Amino acid sequence: MAQTDASLVQSRNEGLGARLSDTLWRRPSLLLFLLLLPPVLWLGIIYLGSLFALLLQSFFSIDHFTGMINYEFTLRTYAELFTPANFDIILRTVLMAACTTVASAIIAFPIAFYAARYAKGRWRAVFYLGIMMPLWSSYLVKIYAWKLILAKEGILTWALEGLHLNWLLDAYLSLPVVGGNSLSVSVTGTFIVFVYVWMPFMILPIQAALERVPTSMLEASGDLGARPGQTFRHVLFPLALPGVVAGSIFTFSLTLGDYIIPQIIGTSRLFIGQAVYQHQGIAGNIPLAAAFAVVPIVIMGFYLWGAKRMGAFDAL
């Protein structure tokens, strides 16, 4: 066991890596700095820098006669957001995001509930993949699939004809606002696809929140005399609510910023995302596009602030 004291001090003639390792051990803050440097530089310069550029642009304005950008600080571009036409776009988008969120929560809850509490063994895997596959399936393919379904000559019309219910569809399509020439060019169509594409993002947070409720808590509720319905209402649902709110962050934010779904399936009335795209592209009005893009940031800022107060971040 006895060793000479000299052996305590290992050879100092060692490689660069070993010496660097010593330095990092002596200065943990240097290690932290080196770890953080690349990601923070990347995200700080590329992402925050871009957001800053965006913000900057929104305070410029466009000269409507020459079409040139006037690089002087002004709030005029923001004021343009409040013209009736533009404000309509904002309202329409927020309303659509809200409807999509509510519908997603309603459809997602039973799936999440079943997956969290009842799916065992093989069924667990089935549910897991059953939720993950659509979530990760190609966004455009999903939209395309609905174009096939909702088209006038598509599968939905065929199915309703088979059931002799096409008068129902016709009656619905003749309604103002929600109706249209066919479902694929109506607000209803836009809504269905929004729900379809973003709903899977609602399932996982709800499922996670439900799985965190210990079984003993439900047994305690039953033990104290609650019927299953009461246990659900007074124990399980309140505990799942942060999960619903967490999921709503995704559905709301994603709907708010989407511009492809309403472009492919829907009416000619614009949503925020489309306004951003059109103003920066065809119109070349980058300041107005930037100002439009700031709207979802501000709305999501308030939304996240509210969600945080409800404890939704613990459910993420």
Partner 1 sequence: MSAVVFDHVSRHFGAVRAVDGVSLAIEEGEFFAMLGPSGSGKTTCLRLIAGFERPTGGDIRIFGEQVADLPPYKRHVNTVFQDYALFPHLNVRDNVAYGLMIAGQGKKQRHKAADEALEMVRLGGYGARKPSELSGGQRQRVALARALVNKPRVLLLDEPLGALDLKLREQMQEELKGLQRQLGITFVFVTHDQGEALSMADRVAVFNDGKIIQVGAPEDIYFRPDVPFVADFVGSSNVLPADLVARLTGQSRPAAIRPERLKLAETGPLSAQVIGLSFLGLTTRVSFQAEGTRLTALLPQDAPRPAKGDTVALTWAEDDLHLMRAGA
Partner 2 sequence: MLSDRAPLSLKIAAAAGLLFLHLPILLIFAYAFTTEEKSFAWPPPGLTLKWFAVTWNRPDVWEALSLSVKVASISTVIAMFLGTLCAAAVSRTRFFGRETVSLLVILPIALPGVVTGIALRSAFSIADIPFSTWTIILGHATFCVVIVYNNAVARFRRTSGSLIEASMDLGANMFQTLRHVILPNIATALVVGGMLAFALSFDEVIVTTFTAGQQQTLPIWMLEELVRPRERPVTNVVAMVVVLVTMLPILGAYYLTRGTDQVAGQGK
Residue ranges in contact with partner 1 by CB under 8 A: 1, 3, 5, 7-10, 21-22, 25-26
5 binds, among partner 2, partner 1, none (CB under 5 to 8 A by kind): partner 1
The number of angstroms, rounded, from the C-alpha of 244 to the middle of its chain's C-alpha atoms is: 13
313 binds, among partner 1, partner 2, none (CB under 5 to 8 A by kind): none
Among 56, 75, 91, 175, binds partner 2 (CB under 8 A): 56
Q: Give me the helices (H) in 199-285, please.
A: 200-211, 215-223, 228-231, 237-257, 260-264, 272-280
The nearer residue to partner 1, 21 or 50, going by C-beta atoms, is: 21
Among 101, 186, 280, 285, binds partner 2 (CB under 8 A): 280
Residue 291 and residue 275 in contact, taking contact as beta carbons nearer than 8 Å: no
Residues 6+ apart with CB under 8 A from 60: 69, 70, 71, 72, 73, 74, 77, 286, 287
The nearer residue to partner 2, 39 or 176, going by C-beta atoms, is: 39
The rounded radius of gyration (Å) of the Cα atoms in the chain is: 27
The nearer residue to partner 2, 121 or 176, going by C-beta atoms, is: 121
The nearer residue to partner 2, 15 or 176, going by C-beta atoms, is: 15
CA dist 170 → 82, 177, 182, 191 (Å): 36, 14, 9, 18
Q: How far is the CB of 159 from partner 2 (least distance, A)?
A: 8
Report 150-179 residues binding partner 2 (CB under 8 A).
Answer: 151, 153-155, 158
x-or-dash string of contact with partner 2, 207-246, rule CB under 8 A: -x---------xx-xxx--x-x--xx---x----------
9 binds, among partner 2, partner 1, none (CB under 5 to 8 A by kind): partner 1
CA dist 238 → 15, 116, 250 (Å): 59, 16, 20
Report 106-145 residues binding partner 2 (CB under 8 A).
Answer: 107-108, 110-111, 113-115, 117-118, 125, 127-145
Among 204, 209, 240, 312, binds partner 2 (CB under 8 A): 204
Q: How far is the CB of 22 from partner 1 (least distance, A)?
A: 6
The nearer residue to partner 1, 12 or 64, going by C-beta atoms, is: 12
Region from 81-89, 166-174, 237-245, 268-276 binding partner 2, contact rule CB under 8 A: 268-276
Among 149, 183, 185, 244, binds partner 2 (CB under 8 A): 149
Q: Which stretches does DSSP call E strand in the chain?
A: 61-62, 69-70
* End-to-end CA, the chain: 53
Total residues contacting partner 2 (rule CB under 8 A)? Answer: 106
CA dist 129 → 105, 114, 134, 188, 243 (Å): 20, 14, 9, 29, 20
* Gap between the Cα atoms of 273 and 159, Å rounded: 33
Amino acid at 266: G
Check binding of 286 to partner 2 (CB under 8 A): yes
Residue 258 and residue 249 in contact, taking contact as beta carbons nearer than 8 Å: no
Q: How far is the CB of 250 from partner 2 (least distance, A)?
A: 8
